[in-house]
Amino acid sequence: MKTRLYWSGVLGLLSATAHAQNADEVMVQSGRMLQRQLDAPASVSVIDGEAIRNAGPQVNLSEALSQVPGVVALNRNNYAQDVQISIRGFGARAPFGLRGIRLITDGIPATIPDGQGQASTVSLTSAERIEVLTGPLAQLYGNSAGGVIQSTTREAGAQPQADAQVTLGSYGLRRTDWQASGRTGRVGIVADYSTFHTDGYRAGSGAERKQFNSVLTADLQEGTRLKVVANAFDMPYAMDPLGLTAAQLAADPQQAGTNALANRTRKIVSQNQLGAVLEHRFSDDLRLQARAYTGTRDNLQYQASSATAGTWVGLAREFKGLGLQLNGKTRTDAGNKIDWVLGVDADQSGEQRQGGATAAGEKTGAITRNEYNEASNRDLFAQLNWHLSNLAGSPWTLTAGVRRSSVDLKSRDDIPVTALDPNGSGSVNFTTTSPVLGATWHASEQLNVYANWGRGFETPTLAEAAYAVTGTGNTRSVVGQFNPNLLASQSQHKEVGIKWTPTRDMRLDAAVFHIQTEREIVTSLSDAGKTAYTNAAQTLRQGVELSWRAKLAEQWRAQLSATWLEATYDSAFTTTAKTGSNYTNKTVAAGKAMPGIPEQQLFASVQWAAQGFGAKAPLGLQASLDWVARSRIWASDANDLTASAAGYGLLNAKLRQRYQVGPGRVEVYAGIDNLFNRRYVGSLIVNQASAQFFEPGLPRNSMVGVKASLPL
């Protein structure tokens, strides 16, 4: 029945027809190649700079990503844990940060080799665009490539410019941004410094951030360009209000979770990164790209265990990497063009993990955990697009790719071995090959139909491999000990889609996908803030994605994206729950929905501009109404109704007025989110041991701001 549903969707897409006038010229990363978005044999969404700025105060990736089909971007309103992002269901179980998807900023990986990433380090105030790649071609990015999110910082224009921006909002939100850009000769630079502060909606949820992002571009000679990226992220504090139980949520959604205030649960983060990307064009048919980067990240987190005591975890990370790829073009004897790429990626991350006890939110006693964790990868990849101009009377493009990946996870226990604290050292290697095959039928200049297949894998993260279960029966416990028995899950991806531009002002994208995963990593036992994982289930993800946007008239445009996703466990497995001092084995039956993933999601937007919409942000008044809706989301593998969040729909309204003041521009803007003051759950902590699943969404909230831009 499930497979029949997939193929029914395929036939529905293939029955589409087109009568069109113009084609899409937007260029995107189609796998590891730059290609016209309309021709890319994959689901690729682009969010431009204007859309990023109009989406909100430019604090969280979730603001802009909510308009991308297949992406679930949930704002926890908890800056100690970052936003929760999943793509086609991958990454939904992450208790903090990102996992299961790849994040890349200005060509530099922001995801370490084990699949962990941090969305908070993306500088949205200086971003020019965000691309989201889903489907089989994402497997060419290696481990945990359920999807790929790439952000790009804007480059300096010919005219030097200074920008200043201040945003104020509900619950003590203060956002400032100071930006300067300029070019001299062949060198251009953009430097951006932003700050963020919030008192928080919930008790104990205040946060503060400071961020610097700079991109320097230099045309060293004809055909050779260097890009240097430097950024720094400082979060001196982000209070963690923890999740709420169902009873706490019903009584008062603004309260902090159990023992959060007594233990002053919070996180402190500092990250610095420097990277460089060099591009050299040997000829029109051969181009080289090389990248190198290095950085550090210090992370200190205070957690709650009881009313009088807690724990702390500190991570001191160093990361670095190199990448090289060669892009070329050639022609066959029959005159058909072949685009190809060959490349290598080598990345490494090492962190000293320490931990101990706290009293009233401060460290106390000796260090009880001290180990060095390391993740590294060495990957080779290749891709080619073979353009067949005279096959079956219509142009076709055949796509093939492969990635050979080797990922190492290691842990060195630096605590002396005792009878009560055995050696926790260990290592494991994951080696696999990820092939991709696809074909695109260029039915007309305005309609492309594509189908592709790919195989991917997802290793456990260092955080998931950091704990193991010891003992049996009611003597079981979760201990801080490297678990080498976790295997990488393997996935088979199938996708069929259409891309249609019936007019120059309208675009329709639709895709049907079917993903089967073996050895899915699931929760084995969660106890006292520590979670051990195991491989226990087969899963099925299948669904339909739709994206439509159109300019309805000179002053009106609209956008719609919809996702239907059925994500289920395809086989039964057993997990363990702890109640008090007793342990109970629970069987999760086949057919249960995977937690953290809504089955339906909708984004709809109507926008109006007094001066119409052009290539440059128009002067005058502009207004928009956005509707965001999601269906019920489960919080546990067992799909208990008491561990689920009801579906909801939110209406957000924004106004923006742009003025020309002499040579400069001034923008004044205001926005109201959750206009109807809907009470809802913003995100869920999946399989939380104490049933503190719920993170409330914000009630009606507003912001106002002003931005000034002045040519220099």
The residue behind tokens 């590294």 is 376
430 versus 5: the higher-pLDDT residue is 430
Amino acid letter for position 235? M
User: Tell me, what's the pLDDT at 250?
Assistant: 96
**Dihedral sign computed on CA atoms, order 65, 67, 73, 76:** positive
pLDDT of residue 419 exceeding 70, the answer is: no
Highest-scoring range by mean pLDDT, 19-28, 517-526, 578-587, 600-609: 600-609
129 contacts 49 by C-beta, under 8 angstroms: yes
* Domains contained in the chain, number: 1
Among the ranges given (450-459, 469-478, 533-542, 662-671), the one the predictor scored with the smallest mean pLDDT? 469-478
DSSP 3-state of 51: helix
646 contacts 633 by C-beta, under 8 angstroms: no
Closest CA to 2 of 518, 520, 540: 540
The residue behind tokens 């049996």 is 472
The 10 Å Cβ neighbour count of residue 271 is: 21
Tokens of 64: 């802009």
605 contacts 627 by C-beta, under 8 angstroms: yes
Strand order in the sheet with 102-105: 43-48, 127-134, 147-153, 102-105, 108-109
Please name every residue paired with 310 in a beta bridge, in sequence order, or none if there are none. Answer: 304, 358
Closest CA to 343 of 31, 28, 114: 31
Highest-scoring range by mean pLDDT, 14-18, 41-45, 164-168: 164-168
DSSP 3-state of 135: coil
659 contacts 619 by C-beta, under 8 angstroms: yes
Rounded-to-integer distance, Cα 595 and Cα 84, Å: 13
Tokens of 628: 């965001």
pLDDT of residue 610 exceeding 90, the answer is: yes
pLDDT of residue 579 exceeding 90, the answer is: no
The 10 Å Cβ neighbour count of residue 480 is: 19
Tokens of 505: 């002002």
The residue behind tokens 């009878």 is 419
490 contacts 456 by C-beta, under 8 angstroms: yes
- 83: DSSP letter: -
Tokens of 81: 């844990």
Determine the average pLDDT of the residues in 256-281: 96
Determine the average pLDDT of the residues in 644-650: 96
Q: Which residues contact 36 (CB under 8 A, 6 or more apart)?
A: 23, 24, 25, 26, 27, 28
Rounded-to-integer distance, Cα 218 and Cα 145, Å: 31
Closest CA to 231 of 290, 296, 279: 296
Nearest 5°: the CA angle 483, 487, 488 is: 125
User: Tell me, what's the pLDDT at 19?
Assistant: 32
Rounded-to-integer distance, Cα 193 and Cα 667, Å: 19
Domain that holds residue 246: 2-711
Closest CA to 155 of 104, 225, 107, 217: 217
Tokens of 557: 């445009």
User: Tell me, what's the pLDDT at 422?
Assistant: 75
The 10 Å Cβ neighbour count of residue 417 is: 11
Tokens of 630: 């999601």
pLDDT, tens digit, for every residue of 613-645?
876 778 899 999 999 999 999 999 989 888 999
pLDDT, tens digit, for every residue of 134-159?
999 999 999 988 899 999 999 998 89
User: Tell me, what's the pLDDT at 37?
Assistant: 87
User: Tell me, what's the pLDDT at 469?
Assistant: 81
pLDDT of residue 289 exceeding 80, the answer is: yes
pLDDT, mean over the chain: 90
> Model confidence at 503, in pLDDT bands (50, 70, 90)?
very high
User: Tell me, what's the pLDDT at 495?
Assistant: 97
pLDDT of residue 7 exceeding 60, the answer is: no
673 contacts 698 by C-beta, under 8 angstroms: yes
SS3 content of the chain, % helix, strand, coil (to 5): 10, 60, 30
User: Tell me, what's the pLDDT at 528?
Assistant: 65
Cα 92 to Cα 222, 480, 583, 636: the distances in Å are 46, 24, 26, 12
pLDDT, tens digit, for every residue of 209-219?
999 999 999 99
User: Tell me, what's the pLDDT at 515?
Assistant: 97
Among the ranges given (55-64, 322-331, 470-479, 625-634), the one the predictor scored with the smallest mean pLDDT? 470-479
User: Would the pTM of this model clear 0.85, i.e. be above it?
Assistant: yes
Rounded-to-integer distance, Cα 627 and Cα 250, Å: 25
> Model confidence at 98, in pLDDT bands (50, 70, 90)?
confident
User: Tell me, what's the pLDDT at 688?
Assistant: 87
User: Tell me, what's the pLDDT at 327?
Assistant: 96
Q: What is the DSSP string of 529-551?
A: TEEEEEEEEEEEEEEEEEEEEEE
> Phi first, then psi: what are they for 53, rounded to 5°?
-70, -35
The 10 Å Cβ neighbour count of residue 282 is: 12
> Phi first, then psi: what are they for 409, rounded to 5°?
-120, 130
Could you tell me how many residues make up the chain? 712
Q: Which residues contact 641 (CB under 8 A, 6 or more apart)?
A: none
Rounded-to-integer distance, Cα 6 and Cα 198, Å: 45
> Model confidence at 449, in pLDDT bands (50, 70, 90)?
very high
Determine the average pLDDT of the residues in 479-494: 90
501 versus 307: the higher-pLDDT residue is 501
> Phi first, then psi: what are they for 459, rounded to 5°?
-80, 160
203 contacts 244 by C-beta, under 8 angstroms: no
User: Tell me, what's the pLDDT at 25?
Assistant: 64
> Phi first, then psi: what are they for 51, rounded to 5°?
-65, -35
User: Tell me, what's the pLDDT at 299?
Assistant: 96
Q: What is the DSSP string of 584-641?
A: EEEEE-TTPBPTT--SEEEEEEEEEETT---SSPPSEEEEEEEEEEE--EESSTT--G
Q: What is the DSSP string of 656-672?
A: EEEEEETTEEEEEEEEE
Cα 635 to Cα 358, 596, 643, 683: the distances in Å are 29, 6, 5, 9
- 646: DSSP letter: -
User: Tell me, what's the pLDDT at 17?
Assistant: 34
User: Tell me, what's the pLDDT at 654?
Assistant: 97
CATH of the domain at 105: 2.40.170.20
Q: How far is CA 403 from the centre of its chain?
A: 21
How close are the terminal C-alpha atoms of the chain, in Å? 64
43 contacts 70 by C-beta, under 8 angstroms: yes
Looking at the chain, the whole-number percentage of residues with pLDDT higher than 90 is 74
